[in-house]
């Protein structure tokens, strides 16, 4: 059999690849309606202050509960949403939802900061700062209680653009955090120019640090780098008590991880926050 174009014939030998893109494409069309159909839900992971031994905030982590496909992890659909630009709507939605829950916690006496993850594309979304200030305008909270987390690779891809965008958000009082730090390729010259207040040490360094000396060295080095730049440090991925102890001794400021609390629904968080929560400091 001789096909008219070599190209077509080649495609015939790649049925899985083709189907995969079709699936991905339909997943993307569904993502927009998923927001409207309330298939997307924010989970919240506690963030604690190691020196004060108290819970100071939560990180919002998005979950997609698809009616047919079941749970789709963010690592699978966020990259697609970034490719199509849908991530901007998703970010707006995540910030609005996070604020809605944050108001409830404050009403209940839990003065929690809320952190929302944003993508590189959000940094070039000219509507984002205005959207956030509108959201906060009509309620008792202010953007000072909001943290935006952006990955190291997102900001370092185009540092000059990132600095301008981050500064605009910083001027509103938002706390800025560099996520997954240590896995990208940071230019130290650019890092020191970034208007960021927080550095999150990637969990790959934290997860095995109790038994791995090199990881310990990395963690200590990243903490002292952040300290010297006047940034606070968050360690993510704490799965055991010894890691928590080491990090506290190293002077790490904040921590997150399964050992402290897993990402959970707002209802479960309310339960987690209720006494006798280990990390509860009564205001
Ligand atoms: P991230 O922001 O670095 O979030 C931390 C990830 O580590 C989360 O995965 C969390 O569930 C997981 N984690 C927390 N503690 C531990 C631990 O002790 N051990 C281990 N092994 N893992 C832990 P998740 O929820 O699957 O999110 C993955 C990534 O997806 C996030 O990484 C973030 O980059 C992205 N993401 C999640 N929600 C959003 C969102 O609303 N918008 C955007 N743009 N990205 C999001
Ligand atoms: Mg994060
Ligand atoms: Mg306000
Ligand atoms: Mg991270």
> How confident is the model over 11-37, as pLDDT tens digits?
444 445 455 566 776 777 788 889 888
- Rounded CA-CA distance 8/39 in Å is 38
pLDDT at 123: 96
Is the model more confident about 38 or about 239? 239
C-alpha of residue 62 to centroid of ligand 1, in Å: 8
**The predicted structure's pLDDT at residue 6:** 43
Residues 57-109 have pLDDT tens digits of 999 999 999 988 889 999 999 998 998 889 999 999 999 999 999 999 999 99
Mean pLDDT across the chain: 91
The whole-angstrom separation of Cα 219 and Cα 205 is: 7
Q: Determine whether the shortest distance from the Cβ of 263 to ligand 1 is under 6 A.
A: yes
Q: Which pLDDT score, from 0 to 100, does residue 120 have?
A: 95
Pocket lining: 118 vs ligand 1, CB cutoff 6 Å:
yes
- Residue with the larger pLDDT of the pair 9 and 204: 204
H, E, C per residue of the chain: CCCCCHHHHHHHCCHHHHHHHHHHHHHHHHHHHHHHCCCEEEEEEEEEECCCCEEEEEEEEEEEEECCCEEECHHHHHHHHHHHCCHHHHHHHHHHHHHHHHHHHHHCCCCCEEEEEECHHHHCCCCHHHHHHHHHHCCCCCHHHEEEEEEHHHHHHCHHHHHHHHHHHHCCCCEEEEEEECCCCCCHHHHCCCCCCEEEECHHHHCCCCCCHHHHHHHHHHHHHHHHCCCEEEECCCCCHHHHHHHHHHCCCEECECCCECCECHHHHHHHHCCCCCCCCCC
Q: Is 61 in the pocket of ligand 1 (CB under 6 A)?
A: yes
pLDDT (mean) for 202-221: 97
Query: What pLDDT is attached to residue 26?
Result: 78
Identify which of 189, 183, 252 has the alpha carbon closest to the alpha carbon of residue 224.
252
If you measure from the C-alpha of residue 4 to the centroid of ligand 1, how many angstroms do you get, rounded to a whole number? 47
Tell me which of 59, 81, 117, 119 to substitute to probe ligand 1's pocket, judged by most ligand atoms within 8 Å of the beta carbon: 117
Arithmetic mean of pLDDT, 249-254: 98
161 vs 2, which has greater pLDDT? Answer: 161
Output the pLDDT for position 282: 53
Whether the predicted pLDDT of 41 surpasses 90: yes
Contact (CB, 8 A) for 174 and 195 = no
Ligand 1 contact via 62 beta carbon (within 6 Å)? yes
Per-residue pLDDT at 22: 67
pLDDT above 70: residue 9: no
Is the CB of 117 inside a 6 Å radius of any atom of ligand 1?
yes
Cis amide bond preceding 123, omega within 30: no
Asked if 152 and 177 count as a contact pair (C-beta separation under 8 A), the reply is no
Of the candidates 88, 158, 185, 101, the one whose C-alpha atom is nearest the C-alpha of residue 127 is: 88
At CB < 8 A and 24+ separation, what contacts does 244-252 make? Answer: 244/50, 246/209, 246/210, 246/216, 246/219, 247/50, 247/206, 247/219, 248/50, 248/51, 250/219, 250/220, 250/223, 251/223, 251/227, 252/50, 252/201, 252/219, 252/223
pLDDT at residue 187 in the model: 87
């Amino acid at each position: 059999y001789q096909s008219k174009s070599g190209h077509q014939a080649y495609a015939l030998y790649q049925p899985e690849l083709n189907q995969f893109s079709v699936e991905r494409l339909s997943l993307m069309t569904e993502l927009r309606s998923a927001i409207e159909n309330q298939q997307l839900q924010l989970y919240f992971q506690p963030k604690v202050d190691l020196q004060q031994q108290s819970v100071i905030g939560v990180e919002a982590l998005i979950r997609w509960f698809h009616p047919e496909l079941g749970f789709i992890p963010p690592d699978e659909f966020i990259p697609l949403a970034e490719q199509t630009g849908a991530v901007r709507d998703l970010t707006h939605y995540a910030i609005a939802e996070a604020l809605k829950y944050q108001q409830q916690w404050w009403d209940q006496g839990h003065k929690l900061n809320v952190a929302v993850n944003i993508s590189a594309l959000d940094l070039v979304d000219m509507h984002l700062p205005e959207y956030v200030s509108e959201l906060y305008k009509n309620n008792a909270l202010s953007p000072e209680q909001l943290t935006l987390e952006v990955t190291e690779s997102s900001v370092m891809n185009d540092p000059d653009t990132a600095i301008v965008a981050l500064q605009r958000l910083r001027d509103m009082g938002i706390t800025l955090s560099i996520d997954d730090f240590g896995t990208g390729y940071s230019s130290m010259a650019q890092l020191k120019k970034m208007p960021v207040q927080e550095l999150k040490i990637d969990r790959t360094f934290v997860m095995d640090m109790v038994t791995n000396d090199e990881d310990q060295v990395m963690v200590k080095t990243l903490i002292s780098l952040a300290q010297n730049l006047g940034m606070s440090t968050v360690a993510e991925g704490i799965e055991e008590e010894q890691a928590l102890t080491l990090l506290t001794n190293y002077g790490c400021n904040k921590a997150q991880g399964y050992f402290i609390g897993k990402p959970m629904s707002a209802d479960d968080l309310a339960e987690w926050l209720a006494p006798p929560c280990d990390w509860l400091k009564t205001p």
